[in-house]
Amino acid sequence: MADKISVLLVDDHALVRRGFRRMLDDDETLEVVGEASNGAEAVRLAEKLHPQVIVMDCALPEMTGLEATRKILQSHPETAILMLSMHSEDTLVRQALDAGARGYVLKNAIDLDLASAIKKVAAGKSVIDPQLARTESLKGERDAALTNRELEILQHIVAGKSNKEIASELDLSVNTVSVHRANIMDRLGIHKTAELVVYAIRNGLVNLP
């Protein structure tokens, strides 16, 4: 069948990928062309296989699903990315949509119809898990969404680095890093570094060191 929708599955658990593949193998309009177990591998395979749809786990080793999504869409903006996550926090859904994902579904949803979600994003539609808040409110509340640079700095903060160390690593001034750190906390409504670290990890905004 020449017009099958090509799909790349990205999840760090082989068992989960196998389960998803089994779901999709039953559908003659879909073809799983590859599997990746981390974000960096997802970027490589997207470049090599040019899948129409990528089913992307949000929390991945080496590179988060959000980061991989941004990298892939920079080179292949036509790719439809469907984000899968265990987390239903608004901030994370906003981050995924801002990164360019066309859909966000909960991987532990009992009624998860993965094939249907893949077909919708392949057709250019947006898919938001019905258990999540309304898409309109998510799109309207973008004030908490962090920029790529802020996410990069947040990653270093979670790794326990000082402003001076972050500035040196990213080739920025210490003052610029301080401003970014303050902006991140202000946007998220958090006032202590420890709370920021917990929030970032709990919401899957960073890779765990």
Residues 44 and 126 in one domain: yes
Q: Considering 125, 140, 155, which residue would you say is the last residue of a domain? A: 140
Whole-number Å distance between alpha carbons of 157 and 163: 8
Residue 50 has pLDDT above 90, yes or no: yes
Look at residue 208 in the predicted model and tell me its pLDDT: 64
Percent of the chain with pLDDT over 90: 49
What is this structure's pTM? 0.65
Q: pLDDT (tens digit, 9 = 90+) per residue, 17-45?
A: 998 898 898 899 999 999 999 999 999 99
132 and 153 both lie in a single domain? no
Average the pLDDT over 52-70 and give the result. Answer: 92
CATH code where residue 158 lies = 1.10.10.10
Between vectors from CA 48 to CA 12 and to CA 19, what angle results, nearest 5°?
A: 30
Instruction: Give yes or no: residues 156 and 127 share one domain.
Output: no
Q: What is the mean pLDDT of residues 66-75?
A: 94
Q: How far are the Cα atoms of 47, 118, 148 from residue 75, in angstroms, in the given order?
A: 8, 21, 16
Q: What is the number of domains present in the chain?
A: 2
Q: What does the block give as tokens for 85? A: 């996550």
CA 127 from chain centre, in angstroms, equals 14
> pLDDT (tens digit, 9 = 90+) per residue, 83-137?
998 887 777 888 888 889 999 988 877 667 899 999 999 998 888 887 774 443 4
Domain of 198? 146-202
* pLDDT of 101: 93
The answer to the question of residue 14 being in a domain is yes
Do 106 and 82 meet the contact criterion of CB atoms below 8 Å apart? Answer: no
State residue 90's pLDDT score: 75
The 53-57 sheet, strands edge to edge: 30-36, 5-10, 53-57, 80-85, 103-106, 127-128
Region 43-69: what's the mean pLDDT? 93
Tell me the average pLDDT across 157-175. Answer: 91
